[in-house]
Structure 1
Amino acid sequence: MPPITEFTNEGLTFSVTEAGPADGVPVLLLHGFPQRASAWAGVTPLLNDRGFRTLAPDQRGYSPGARPTGRRQYSLRHLTGDIAALIDEIGAPVHLVGHDWGAIVAWAVASNHPDKVASLTAVSVGHPGAFMRSLRTSSQALRSWYMVFFQIPWLPERLLTMRSGVGERMQAKLGMTPAMVEQFRTGIVDDGALPGGVNWYRGLPLTSPSFVGPVSVPTTVVWSDGDHFLSRAQAVESERFVRAPFDFAPMEGASHWIPEERPTELAEAILARIASVV
């Protein structure tokens, strides 16, 4: 079958990076903020070498043909519907992997469309229910200050687009390498993807917490102890919301940016989860 380079949903067109054997079992990789499909560049060859077909979309707000205006277009229901449509295009259940915001979408897809998901590997972000619990029981509330900040109109975009400004310095302090900061500059800011990316945060209050219920597919949560944004509690307590085999895979000494920083270890965690259901 020809590779999938794009798909459509709700009148929007999304770009997709596909690699690996066309007849391989599909692994669908969802990026987070502020990144694009290229965040998986270190992971995909490792999966392809093991015979898997990988697909990584630029999601809503990031694909040039899928940048609606207004925060209502970025609710979790819309983001979940996009990925469900892509899985329908693939034509078979996928092994679903998501990092950061991509993990939130992955949890929502696995919860609402279990027939489309063979396994789930959530990277950095645990189940939304566990995240909400951790706000009361751990340091997560302090770590999540930026989610409130991003609700402010136009100011976050202003700060993040200033060259050598607050946003750039913050990214470096939180673990981004100079190459990653430059990728943010060219692939997000200069390409016009930043407003859509920030709107994911602004759209979050528009979806009921009950939208993401328990997950019934085999699940692994990968978390790094150098993550400034996300606590161990929200990762570990995700097991409460999984009605299937569950593994917690901690990484020592890694920052939040696991796909770029630890691609080999992450690929092995993904492959281990896949092997458990094949």
Structure 2
Amino acid sequence: MQTETLTLNGQPFYIRRWGDPALPPVLLLHGFPEYGGAWEPLARHLADRFHCIAPDQRGYGRSWAPEGVQNYAMSALVADMAALISHTGAPLTVIGHDWGAGVAYGLAMFRPELVARLIIANGVHPVPFQRALAAGGAQAEASQYINFLRRPDSHKILAANDFEKLLALFSAKMDLSWLSGELRAAYKAEWARDERLNTMIHWYRASPLQVPEPGQALTGLPDFPRDKLLVRCPHLLIWGQDDTALLPEATEGLEHYAPDLTRVTLPGVDHWLLHQTPAEVARRIKDWMP
């Protein structure tokens, strides 16, 4: 692994790289509560064919972390990564997980000239996800943690007692056994860095997603114009079947917005599939890539 700090749109971003720079580039976008280093297990299995590039995104790790929720609108997060792609060379393949999937979808939808192929691992396109939430059913119930995270003091609650509640939140009903020993210590160091946990959570606070109480369906959703929210490039969705935070209903109707979609479901793994079975995820990616 090699590291560097790049200036993107006038601000510093910390970048990790694996593989020969002469190989085809792949941009790896992490979610919450991770950071660029979370991609190492998968990158080890991809580096023989690809040059893997994993930034700490805005508000995370060693990258720029401005104060203020207004700095974490999706348009700004997408602009960061668009600058990184332009620096690297476009178009390239983008892989996103969790919140990183939101940025990856934003790039594919709004900057399609930058994205040759899109790979999502347990992440959601905003339209099917919002519709699943609006139904007020199982996905709304599974996503109640979002309303908690949006509290102005949620970062303080999660950080207390050596991040006890943060770890409990993400191990509830899912297998977090991979996060132990030195790796757990590394994650805690990133969460403790200069108020980073607060700026990480700003992604949730800035999001326009509406999360109703279970059993209370939302009405009056916008039309979500297909032409503006379309993924035009080839798209692979890899899904850990046992995810209890993002449910299958959150991807229903995705084909309408991603007509060149390939779905792969992996049994026996959950939201943390990149850590639980990185070799299998890498195999599926390599099999799908040209």
> Aligned residues, how many?
270
Structure 1 contact 95–274 (Cα < 8 Å) conserved:
no
Tell whether the 8 Å contact from 2:274 to 2:281 is kept in structure 1 after alignment: yes
Q: CA deviation at 1:7?
A: 2.3
SS at match of 2:124: coil
Instruction: Give secondary structure in 1 for the equivalent of 2:93.
Output: strand
- 1:139-158 equivalences under 5 Å are 139-154=138-153, 156-158=154-156
Task: Specify which of 273, 280, 288 is matched with residue 258 of structure 1.
Answer: 273
Is 1:219 equivalent to 2:235 in the alignment?
A: yes
Q: Deviations over 1:192-245 (max 9, x none)?
A: 421111000111129x977971110100111112111101122343222113x2
Q: Partner amino acid for 2:271?
A: H
Alignment-derived partner of residue 287 in structure 2: 272
Deviation at 1:184, TM superposition (A): 2.9
Preserved CA contact (<8 Å) 1:161 1:167: yes
Q: After TM superposition, give the deviation of residue 59 of structure 1 in Å.
A: 0.4
Alpha-carbon separation, structure 1, partners of 2:56 and 2:229: 25
Which residue identity is paired with 1:231?
A: L
Higher deviation after alignment, 28-37 or 209-218: 209-218
Q: What TM-score, normalized by structure 1, do the two folds share? A: 0.89
Find the partner of 2:89 among 84, 88, 91: 91
2: CA distance, partners of 1:213 / 1:83: 18
Q: 1:236 to 1:182 in 2, by over 3 A?
A: farther
Distance 1:100 1:231 in 2: 12
Task: Name structure 2 gaps, 5 residues minimum.
Answer: 210-221
Secondary structure at the aligned position of 2:15 is classed as strand
How has the CA–CA distance of structure 1 residues 56 and 210 changed in structure 2, closer, same or farther, with 3 Å as cutoff?
farther
Q: 1:73 aligns with which of 54, 65, 71?
A: 71
Q: How far did 1:121 drift?
A: 0.5
Q: Deviations over 1:54-75 (max 9, x none)?
A: 1000000014340100011000
Contact 2:231 2:257 in 1 (8 A): yes
TM-score normalized by the length of structure 2: 0.86
Pairing partner for 1:197 from 193, 197, 200: 200
User: How far apart, CA to CA, are the structure 2 residues paired with 1:264 and 1:75?
Assistant: 34
Identity of aligned residues (%): 30
User: In the alignment, does 2:248 pair up with 1:232?
Assistant: yes
User: CA shift at 1:88, angstroms?
Assistant: 0.3
Runs (4+) of structure 1 exceeding 4 A deviation are 208-212
